[in-house]
């Protein structure tokens, strides 16, 4: 998939394949006036139009106007790009609202259009893609598993849960919230004293931290259902322009990766190994894990079309 903002300022999404032989026209991210296929140098502008065919006389009857990059349905809203990876699919504001089921009001309130990308990481781990998502869905494990990382900051085994269709929201509570007792309610800032996770069904977790945003996107590995790819992105309120600011956000990224990868996902990898043995036939979900139960019900509904 290729995401680009055109000369007219509009965001567009395309299939990242040259219309000649299907080679990817771009890798990574950055700034460019257009895209040149590295295989045979067919070139496209930022609107996806084909503008150069080397030795064009060798392709009689091929019209550039009908051989631009294949567009994908896209909606830009409140600083987020929503893309449907199906050229023949339908995505508009009404379809997106139906999927978000009311969650769009929360996302709009964060004014994400003003945030800046700070850092991304990609991890490949031997666990089913759904298992790392589970780590964001309950605070019951904070005290034993995150004794030196998260536990000193957050209350364990305490959360607020709300469902939005197949999606849901869970807020875990920072211990700093106790300072609000001494402040008038008009001065309370809920976001500052929580971490609010939005599970955007099926495979994205959007985390609104006190002062930055994290997204975690999980995908199954191509050939191994017991392996997954984890895409982490960190967004901050403004571009850091000093060493102090950069070191502050680097520390936040380090804490996120250290906690989720080295503690949460490491545990999930061990659990995956046990599941693959096939001996344990079921697991238990407590009443203190409502987000986890909702995710399992959402998967069942999406796969079977029935509720449980």
**φ, ψ (nearest 5 deg) of residue 106:** -65, -50
Both 124 and 54 in one domain: the answer is no
Q: Of 17, 45, 72, which residue sits at a domain end?
A: 72
CA distances from 133 to 198, 247, 262, 294 (A): 11, 28, 15, 12
88 found inside a domain: no
Q: What is the pLDDT along the chain (308 residues), one digit of tens a residue?
A: 999 999 999 999 999 999 999 999 999 999 999 999 999 999 999 999 999 999 999 999 999 999 999 999 999 999 999 999 999 999 999 999 999 999 999 999 999 999 999 999 999 999 999 999 999 999 999 999 999 999 999 999 999 999 999 999 999 999 999 999 999 999 999 999 999 999 999 999 999 999 999 999 999 998 899 999 999 999 999 999 999 999 999 999 999 999 999 999 999 999 999 999 999 999 999 999 999 999 999 999 999 998 87
Both 32 and 120 in one domain: the answer is no
Residues 276, 278, 284, 290: what is their CA dihedral angle, to the nearest 10 degrees?
A: 40
Q: Total structural domains in the chain?
A: 2
44 found inside a domain: yes
Both 162 and 56 in one domain: the answer is no
CA distance 11 to 200: 21
Q: Give pLDDT tens digits for 275-304.
A: 999 999 999 999 999 999 999 999 999 999
What is the CATH classification number for the domain harbouring 213?
3.90.380.10
Both 293 and 206 in one domain: the answer is yes
pTM of this prediction? 0.92
Question: Is the separation of the CB atoms in 128 and 226 below 8 Å?
Answer: yes
Both 272 and 129 in one domain: the answer is yes
Question: Is the separation of the CB atoms in 239 and 119 below 8 Å?
Answer: no
92 found inside a domain: no
CA distance 150 to 173: 11
CA distance 98 to 142: 34
Both 293 and 228 in one domain: the answer is yes
């Amino acid at each position: 998939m290729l995401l680009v903002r055109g000369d007219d300022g509009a965001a567009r999404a395309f299939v990242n394949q040259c219309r000649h032989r299907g080679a990817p026209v771009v890798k990574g991210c950055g700034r460019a006036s257009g895209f040149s296929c590295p295989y045979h140098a067919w070139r496209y502008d930022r609107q996806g139009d084909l503008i150069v065919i080397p030795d064009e006389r060798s392709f009689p009857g091929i019209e550039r106007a009908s051989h631009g990059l294949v567009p994908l349905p896209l909606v830009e809203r409140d600083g987020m790009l929503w893309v449907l990876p199906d050229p023949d699919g339908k995505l508009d504001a009404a379809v997106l609202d139906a999927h978000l089921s009311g969650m769009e009001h929360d996302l709009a309130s964060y004014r994400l259009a003003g945030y800046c990308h700070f850092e991304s990481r990609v991890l490949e781990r031997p666990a089913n893609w759904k298992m790392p998502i589970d780590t964001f869905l309950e605070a019951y494990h904070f005290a034993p598993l995150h004794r030196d990382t998260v536990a000193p900051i957050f209350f364990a085994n305490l959360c607020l849960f709300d469902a939005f269709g197949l999606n849901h929201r869970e807020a875990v509570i920072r211990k700093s919230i106790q300072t609000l007792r001494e402040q008038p309610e008009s001065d309370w800032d809920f976001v500052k004293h929580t971490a609010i996770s939005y599970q955007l069904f099926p495979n994205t977790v959007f985390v609104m931290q006190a002062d930055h945003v994290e997204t975690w996107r999980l995908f199954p590995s191509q050939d191994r259902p017991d392996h997954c790819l984890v895409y982490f992105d960190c967004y901050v309120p403004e571009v850091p322009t000093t060493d102090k600011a950069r070191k502050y956000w680097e520390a936040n990224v380090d804490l996120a990766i250290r906690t989720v990868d080295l503690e949460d996902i490491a545990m999930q990898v061990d659990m995956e190994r046990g599941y693959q043995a096939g001996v344990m036939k079921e697991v238990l979900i407590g009443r203190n894990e409502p987000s986890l139960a909702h995710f399992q019900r959402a998967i069942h509904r999406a796969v079977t079309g029935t509720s449980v």
